[in-house]
Structure 1
């Protein structure tokens, strides 16, 4: 996933963007503070922030306003997904909670050797490889 600069993200959170897109890009910036790369996909009335396998955050408008929603990784006793929710205004809190879920998923589904090698090469000091 390509890492966006803070300038690009700020431009995407400008008042001219749809509210869902603004919230998605704001979350993306907060996730970057935790060292988590993500991609934003904007649709009509909804936006998605793709983070990792089984971790896609839906930015949606509900009766109480815009919110983030993601799967907790649990299934209820009635065999239904258990979702986590956070108001879009609390994007820092959402990013912290998503970072915890990301670390859980990363432990159970680590990077492949090839990707890990590429990431290590990209993080070498002085390397100009864009991530």
Structure 2
């Protein structure tokens, strides 16, 4: 799916559409993601500790940084009219998380399995 062909600078009609555009833009660069819909919001699950929220106007996700002093998380934002740039930024954050040995020890194997399919082994 070439997202740039279907939405050059256009506003998505809903949070669901914005999430689908981001999912498509991520797929175009080889990153799998799941979309989950809520009431007026949609979530794009990309990796452990990487969940993108959208209300149809903007995308937001945790940047991995925290404010000194308060310890509050700092979030990254991107307009929903540009899912291609958002996808590049989200993919860069995903790569940071993948490189973190404390968080990704067993996740590389899971990333190779299709989303939505899990198997319980006993």
TM range (shorter): 0.7 to 0.9
Structure-to-structure mapping, 1:113-124, within 5 angstroms: 116=109, 119=112
TM-score of the two chains, using structure 1 as the length reference: 0.69
Change (3 A) 1:111 1:24: farther
| Structure with the bigger percentage of helix | 1
Contact 2:63 2:75 in 1 (8 A): yes
Structure-to-structure mapping, 1:48-127, within 5 angstroms: 48-60=43-55, 66-77=57-68, 78-108=70-100, 109-110=103-104, 112=106, 116=109, 119=112
Shift >6 Å, 4+ stretches: none
Pick 1 or 2: higher relative contact order, CA cutoff 8 A, min separation 6: 2
Name which one, 1 or 2, has greater alpha-carbon Rg: 1
Contact 2:64 2:73 in 1 (8 A): yes
3-state SS in 1 of match to 2:112: helix
Change (3 A) 1:112 1:69: same
For the aligned residues, what is the CA RMSD?
Answer: 2.9
Q: Which runs of 5+ in 2 are unaligned?
A: 2-11, 118-122
Alignment size in residue pairs: 104
3-state SS in 2 of match to 1:68: strand
Change (3 A) 1:111 1:33: farther
Q: Which runs of 5+ in 1 are unaligned?
A: 1-5, 7-16, 123-129
